[in-house]
Chain A
Protein backbone atom coordinates (compact mmCIF):
# COMPACT_ATOMS: atom_id res chain seq x y z
CA UNK A 1 0.00 0.00 0.00
CA UNK A 2 0.91 3.66 -0.19
CA UNK A 3 3.49 4.90 2.29
CA UNK A 4 3.65 8.08 4.31
CA UNK A 5 6.88 8.73 6.15
CA UNK A 6 7.56 11.14 8.98
CA UNK A 7 10.87 12.49 10.15
CA UNK A 8 12.11 12.60 12.79
CA UNK A 9 10.36 9.75 14.56
CA UNK A 10 11.28 11.27 17.87
CA UNK A 11 12.88 14.52 18.98
CA UNK A 12 13.87 16.09 22.28
CA UNK A 13 14.35 19.84 22.43
CA UNK A 14 14.79 22.61 24.95
CA UNK A 15 11.99 24.95 25.84
CA UNK A 16 11.92 27.99 23.57
CA UNK A 17 13.37 26.32 20.53
CA UNK A 18 11.55 25.46 17.31
CA UNK A 19 11.17 21.98 15.90
CA UNK A 20 10.31 20.97 12.34
CA UNK A 21 8.59 17.68 11.50
CA UNK A 22 8.45 16.46 7.93
CA UNK A 23 5.73 14.36 6.35
CA UNK A 24 6.35 12.76 2.97
CA UNK A 25 4.17 10.69 0.72
CA UNK A 26 6.68 8.28 -0.77
CA UNK A 27 4.85 6.71 -3.67
CA UNK A 28 1.92 8.99 -4.41
CA UNK A 29 1.08 12.64 -4.72
CA UNK A 30 -1.00 14.31 -2.06
CA UNK A 31 -2.67 17.66 -2.61
CA UNK A 32 -4.01 17.46 0.92
CA UNK A 33 -2.32 16.31 4.10
CA UNK A 34 -3.65 16.36 7.63
CA UNK A 35 -1.83 16.94 10.90
CA UNK A 36 -2.96 15.38 14.17
CA UNK A 37 -1.62 15.41 17.70
CA UNK A 38 -2.19 12.75 20.30
CA UNK A 39 -1.59 12.91 24.04
CA UNK A 40 -0.99 9.72 26.04
CA UNK A 41 -4.05 7.48 26.31
CA UNK A 42 -6.11 9.91 24.26
CA UNK A 43 -7.48 9.91 20.74
CA UNK A 44 -6.06 11.80 17.79
CA UNK A 45 -6.98 15.46 17.56
CA UNK A 46 -7.07 17.05 14.12
CA UNK A 47 -4.93 20.17 14.11
CA UNK A 48 -5.00 21.37 10.54
CA UNK A 49 -5.49 20.53 6.90
CA UNK A 50 -2.47 21.23 4.75
CA UNK A 51 -3.15 22.17 1.14
CA UNK A 52 -0.42 22.10 -1.49
CA UNK A 53 0.44 25.56 -2.66
CA UNK A 54 -1.89 27.39 -0.32
CA UNK A 55 -2.35 28.21 3.33
CA UNK A 56 -3.28 25.54 5.81
CA UNK A 57 -6.71 25.43 7.37
CA UNK A 58 -6.53 25.20 11.14
CA UNK A 59 -9.09 23.63 13.45
CA UNK A 60 -10.69 25.78 16.11
CA UNK A 61 -8.41 26.35 19.06
CA UNK A 62 -5.16 25.55 17.23
CA UNK A 63 -2.76 28.50 17.09
CA UNK A 64 -1.57 28.97 13.53
CA UNK A 65 1.40 31.08 14.62
CA UNK A 66 2.45 28.36 17.02
CA UNK A 67 2.11 25.47 14.62
CA UNK A 68 3.39 26.55 11.21
CA UNK A 69 2.42 24.31 8.34
CA UNK A 70 3.98 24.41 4.91
CA UNK A 71 2.96 22.22 1.98
CA UNK A 72 5.38 23.25 -0.71
CA UNK A 73 5.12 20.20 -2.94
CA UNK A 74 2.77 17.34 -3.71
CA UNK A 75 4.84 14.98 -1.59
CA UNK A 76 5.97 17.05 1.37
CA UNK A 77 4.28 18.89 4.21
CA UNK A 78 6.10 20.24 7.24
CA UNK A 79 4.89 21.16 10.71
CA UNK A 80 7.03 23.55 12.72
CA UNK A 81 6.36 23.89 16.42
CA UNK A 82 7.63 27.36 17.23
CA UNK A 83 8.95 28.38 20.64
CA UNK A 84 8.14 24.96 22.01
CA UNK A 85 7.12 24.51 25.62
CA UNK A 86 6.70 21.36 27.71
CA UNK A 87 2.94 21.39 27.12
CA UNK A 88 3.66 20.96 23.40
CA UNK A 89 5.15 17.54 24.13
CA UNK A 90 2.99 15.11 22.21
CA UNK A 91 2.79 12.53 19.44
CA UNK A 92 2.34 14.30 16.11
CA UNK A 93 0.93 12.29 13.23
CA UNK A 94 0.40 13.25 9.63
CA UNK A 95 -1.79 11.64 7.02
CA UNK A 96 -2.37 12.00 3.32
CA UNK A 97 -4.81 10.96 0.67
CA UNK A 98 -3.90 10.08 -2.88
CA UNK A 99 -4.29 12.99 -5.24
CA UNK A 100 -7.61 12.98 -7.05
CA UNK A 101 -9.37 10.97 -4.36
CA UNK A 102 -11.85 12.95 -2.31
CA UNK A 103 -12.68 9.99 -0.13
CA UNK A 104 -11.33 6.58 0.66
CA UNK A 105 -8.29 5.39 2.53
CA UNK A 106 -6.19 7.92 4.40
CA UNK A 107 -2.56 6.91 4.78
CA UNK A 108 -0.92 7.75 8.09
CA UNK A 109 2.70 8.30 8.97
CA UNK A 110 4.43 6.50 11.80
CA UNK A 111 4.19 9.55 14.04
CA UNK A 112 6.77 11.86 15.57
CA UNK A 113 7.15 12.02 19.32
CA UNK A 114 8.16 15.45 20.58
CA UNK A 115 9.49 15.94 24.09
CA UNK A 116 10.15 19.50 25.21
CA UNK A 117 12.34 19.85 28.28
Chain B
Protein backbone atom coordinates (compact mmCIF):
# COMPACT_ATOMS: atom_id res chain seq x y z
CA UNK B 1 0.00 0.00 0.00
CA UNK B 2 1.26 3.45 -0.87
CA UNK B 3 2.12 5.24 2.35
CA UNK B 4 2.04 8.83 3.53
CA UNK B 5 4.05 10.47 6.29
CA UNK B 6 2.79 13.50 8.18
CA UNK B 7 3.89 15.34 11.32
CA UNK B 8 1.97 14.17 14.38
CA UNK B 9 0.78 17.63 15.27
CA UNK B 10 1.04 21.27 14.31
CA UNK B 11 -0.06 24.50 15.86
CA UNK B 12 -1.23 27.70 14.22
CA UNK B 13 -2.50 31.09 15.23
CA UNK B 14 -5.95 32.15 14.22
CA UNK B 15 -6.18 34.19 11.01
CA UNK B 16 -2.73 33.03 9.88
CA UNK B 17 -1.95 30.65 7.00
CA UNK B 18 -1.18 27.02 7.77
CA UNK B 19 0.97 24.72 5.66
CA UNK B 20 0.45 21.04 6.38
CA UNK B 21 3.14 18.86 4.78
CA UNK B 22 2.87 15.29 3.56
CA UNK B 23 5.51 12.96 2.16
CA UNK B 24 4.54 10.16 -0.19
CA UNK B 25 7.77 9.01 -1.78
CA UNK B 26 6.31 5.69 -2.96
CA UNK B 27 3.50 7.28 -4.94
CA UNK B 28 2.79 5.77 -8.33
CA UNK B 29 1.87 7.67 -11.46
CA UNK B 30 -1.86 7.10 -11.16
CA UNK B 31 -2.32 7.67 -7.43
CA UNK B 32 -4.43 10.67 -6.56
CA UNK B 33 -3.52 12.71 -3.47
CA UNK B 34 -6.46 13.36 -1.17
CA UNK B 35 -6.84 15.44 1.97
CA UNK B 36 -9.62 14.88 4.48
CA UNK B 37 -10.14 16.24 7.95
CA UNK B 38 -11.95 14.83 10.93
CA UNK B 39 -13.44 16.36 14.03
CA UNK B 40 -13.88 14.22 17.17
CA UNK B 41 -16.69 11.66 16.91
CA UNK B 42 -17.52 12.64 13.34
CA UNK B 43 -16.88 11.12 9.95
CA UNK B 44 -14.10 12.61 7.83
CA UNK B 45 -14.81 15.62 5.66
CA UNK B 46 -13.38 16.06 2.17
CA UNK B 47 -10.95 18.95 1.80
CA UNK B 48 -9.28 18.68 -1.57
CA UNK B 49 -7.61 16.27 -3.98
CA UNK B 50 -5.30 16.39 -6.99
CA UNK B 51 -3.09 14.37 -9.29
CA UNK B 52 -0.26 16.51 -10.65
CA UNK B 53 -1.23 20.16 -10.79
CA UNK B 54 -1.84 22.45 -7.86
CA UNK B 55 -5.50 22.73 -6.91
CA UNK B 56 -7.58 25.39 -5.24
CA UNK B 57 -11.06 25.30 -3.81
CA UNK B 58 -13.06 27.30 -1.31
CA UNK B 59 -11.58 25.43 1.62
CA UNK B 60 -7.90 25.16 0.80
CA UNK B 61 -5.11 24.88 -1.73
CA UNK B 62 -3.07 21.81 -2.56
CA UNK B 63 0.49 22.27 -3.71
CA UNK B 64 2.00 19.15 -5.28
CA UNK B 65 5.74 18.82 -5.78
CA UNK B 66 6.96 18.36 -9.31
CA UNK B 67 8.17 14.82 -8.58
CA UNK B 68 4.89 14.16 -6.71
CA UNK B 69 6.74 12.72 -3.75
CA UNK B 70 5.35 15.35 -1.43
CA UNK B 71 2.46 17.74 -1.15
CA UNK B 72 1.31 20.57 1.08
CA UNK B 73 -2.17 21.48 2.16
CA UNK B 74 -2.55 25.21 2.60
CA UNK B 75 -5.26 26.78 4.73
CA UNK B 76 -5.07 30.44 3.87
CA UNK B 77 -6.52 31.82 7.09
CA UNK B 78 -6.91 29.38 9.94
CA UNK B 79 -9.96 29.67 12.12
CA UNK B 80 -10.83 27.86 15.33
CA UNK B 81 -13.19 25.67 13.30
CA UNK B 82 -10.22 24.38 11.30
CA UNK B 83 -8.85 22.58 14.36
CA UNK B 84 -9.06 18.90 13.40
CA UNK B 85 -7.05 15.86 12.37
CA UNK B 86 -5.92 16.27 8.78
CA UNK B 87 -5.27 13.15 6.75
CA UNK B 88 -3.15 13.03 3.61
CA UNK B 89 -4.18 9.95 1.65
CA UNK B 90 -3.13 8.30 -1.57
CA UNK B 91 -5.94 6.83 -3.58
CA UNK B 92 -5.17 3.63 -5.40
CA UNK B 93 -7.52 1.08 -6.90
CA UNK B 94 -10.52 3.22 -5.96
CA UNK B 95 -9.66 2.92 -2.25
CA UNK B 96 -8.59 5.48 0.31
CA UNK B 97 -6.29 4.05 2.97
CA UNK B 98 -5.78 6.48 5.84
CA UNK B 99 -2.47 7.19 7.53
CA UNK B 100 -1.96 8.59 11.01
CA UNK B 101 -2.80 12.20 10.17
CA UNK B 102 -1.75 15.55 11.66
CA UNK B 103 -3.53 17.07 14.63
CA UNK B 104 -3.92 20.76 13.90
CA UNK B 105 -4.39 23.04 16.86
CA UNK B 106 -5.45 26.63 16.28
CA UNK B 107 -4.78 29.25 18.93
CA UNK B 108 -6.92 32.33 19.32
State the CA gap A107–B45 with chains docked (Å). Answer: 7
Say whether B46 contacts A46, CB under 8 Å.
no
| Interface stretch (choices A12-20, A61-69, A108-116) | A108-116
A117 within 8 A of partner (CB): no
With beta carbons under 8 angstroms apart, the residue of A6, A43, A45, A113 that contacts B41 is A113
- Bound together, the chains give a CA A44 to CA B95 distance in angstroms of 13
Q: How many Å from the CB of A109 to the closest CB on chain B?
A: 5
What number of residue pairs across chains A and B have CB atoms under 8 A from each other? 54
- Which of B32, B43, B46, B91 lies at the interface centre, i.e. has the most chain A CB atoms within 10 A of its CB? B43
Alpha-carbon gap, A36 to B87, bound state (A): 14
List A residues 61-117 near B (Cβ within 8 Å).
Answer: 91, 93, 95, 97, 102-111, 113
In the complex, B21 has a CB within 8 A of chain A: no
Size category of the binding interface on chain B: 20 to 34
A43's partner among B34, B45, B46, B99 (CB-CB below 8 A) is B99
CB-CB < 8 A to B80: which residues of A? none
Contact residues on A (Cβ < 8 Å of other chain), bracket: 20 to 34
B43 close to A104 (CB less than 8 A): no
| Nearest-neighbor residue (CB-CB) of A97 within chain B | B94
Chain A residues with CB under 8 A of B97: 46
Knowing A44-B44, A91-B41, A95-B43, say if A104 contacts B49 (CB, 8 Å). Answer: yes
- Which chain B residue has the least Cβ–Cβ distance from A60? B1
A99 vs B38: C-alpha distance when bound (angstroms):
24
* Chain A residue, CB-CB nearest to B34: A106
Known: A44-B98, A46-B96, A106-B96. A111 touches B91 (CB 8 A): no
Q: Which residues of A contact B34 (CB under 8 A)?
A: 106
Against A, the Cβ 8 Å flags (1 = close, 0 = not) of B39-52 are: 00111111001000
Q: Is the CB of B49 within 8 A of A43?
A: no
Binding site for A on B (CB under 8 A): 32, 34, 36, 38, 41-46, 49, 87, 91, 94-101
Question: Which 5 pairs across A and B sit closest by C-beta, in order of nearness?
Answer: A108-B43, A44-B98, A105-B46, A43-B98, A108-B44
